[in-house]
A and B are shown apart, each in its own frame.
Chain A
Amino acid sequence: MSINLGIPAVRTRGEGNLFAHEKFPTAAKRELKNQQLRANLRHATHTIRDKRINVVSELPDWEDLRESGSRIKENVMARLPELLEQFEAAFTARGGVIHWANDATEANAIVTSLIRATGETEVVKVKSMATQEIGLNEHLESLGINAIETDLAELIVQLGHDRPSHILVPAIHKNRTQIRDIFRAEIPNASPDLTDNPKELAATARAYLREKFLNAKVAISGANFGIAETGTLGVVESEGNGRMCLTLPETLITVMGIEKILPRWEDLGVFMQLLPRSSTGERMNPYSSLWTGKNGQDGPQNIHLVMLDNGRTRALADKNGRSALHCIRCSACMNVCPVYERTGGHAYGSTYPGPIGAILSPLLTGITAEENSSLPYASSLCGACFDACPVKINIPEILIDLRAQDVEAQHSVRKAPTEMDVLMKGASWALSSGTRLKFLEKGLPAGRLLAGKDQRISWLPGIAGGWTSSRDIPAPPQSSFRDQWAQREKFQKSQGPQLFQQSQASPKPTGKQGE
Chain B
Amino acid sequence: MRIALFSTCIVDAMYPATARATVEILERLGHTVIFPTGQACCGQMHVNSGYFKDALPVVRNHVAAFSHGDYDVAVAPSGSCVASVKHQHPMLAHRCGDAGLAADAEEVGAKTYELSQLLTDVLDVTNAAEQLGSYFPHKVTYHPSCHGMRLLRLGDRQRNLLESVDGLEFAPLPEADQCCGFGGTFSIKNSDVSTAMLEDKADSIEASGASLCAGGDASCLMHIGGGLSRRGSQARTVHLAEILASTRDNPLVIPEAQGGVVVLNGGTR
The 8 A CB mask of A14-50 against B (1 = contact, 0 = none) is: 0000000000110011001000000000000000000
Contact status of A500 and B23, CB under 8 A, knowing A472-B230, A473-B226: yes
Which of B40, B147, B227 gathers most chain A CB within 10 Å? B40
A437 touches B40 (CB 8 A): yes
Selected from B24, B47, B55, B147, the residue in CB contact (under 8 A) with A499 is B24
B192 touches A480 (CB 8 A): no
A513 touches B255 (CB 8 A): yes
Chain A at the B interface: mostly helix, strand, loop or mixed? helix
B267 touches A482 (CB 8 A): no
17 other contacts beyond A380-B182, A481-B7, A501-B24, with CB at 8 A cut-off? A338-B179, A343-B193, A380-B186, A383-B150, A383-B151, A387-B150, A424-B49, A434-B61, A455-B261, A471-B195, A471-B198, A473-B222, A474-B229, A476-B13, A477-B266, A480-B13, A501-B250
Chain B at the A interface: mostly helix, strand, loop or mixed? helix
B146 touches A383 (CB 8 A): yes
Residues on the A chain within 8 Å of B19, using CB: 481, 485
B14 touches A382 (CB 8 A): no
Q: For window 233-269 of chain B, which residues contact chain A by CB distance below 8 Å?
A: 245, 250-253, 255, 258, 261-269
Which of B45, B51, B262 gathers most chain A CB within 10 Å? B51
Residues on the A chain within 8 Å of B264, using CB: 456, 474
Categorize the interface residue count of chain B.
Answer: 35 or more
Complex Cα–Cα for A476 and B223 (A)? 14
Interface stretch (choices B31-39, B98-106, B133-141) = B31-39
Selected from B14, B20, B37, B263, the residue in CB contact (under 8 A) with A476 is B14
> Shortest CB–CB separation between residue B228 and chain A, in angstroms?
9
User: Is A177 part of the contact surface with B, judged by Cβ < 8 Å?
Assistant: no
The 8 A CB mask of B25-54 against A (1 = contact, 0 = none) is: 001100000011111110101111111101
User: Is A478 part of the contact surface with B, judged by Cβ < 8 Å?
Assistant: yes
A-B contact number at CB 8 A? 247
Nearest B residue to A436, CB-CB:
B40
A474 touches B253 (CB 8 A): no
> Shortest CB–CB separation between residue A386 and chain B, in angstroms?
7
User: Is A469 part of the contact surface with B, judged by Cβ < 8 Å?
Assistant: yes
Residues on the A chain within 8 Å of B142, using CB: none
Residues on the A chain within 8 Å of B51, using CB: 404, 407, 424, 428
User: Is B16 part of the contact surface with A, judged by Cβ < 8 Å?
Assistant: yes
> Shortest CB–CB separation between residue A314 and chain B, in angstroms?
20
Residues on the B chain within 8 Å of A29, using CB: 192
Selected from A381, A404, A436, the residue in CB contact (under 8 A) with B52 is A404
> Shortest CB–CB separation between residue B198 and chain A, in angstroms?
7
B268 touches A482 (CB 8 A): no
Residues on the B chain within 8 Å of A513, using CB: 255, 258, 261, 263, 268
A-B pairs, 9 with minimum CB distance = A477-B267, A403-B50, A380-B183, A471-B226, A382-B179, A466-B188, A431-B41, A481-B16, A428-B54
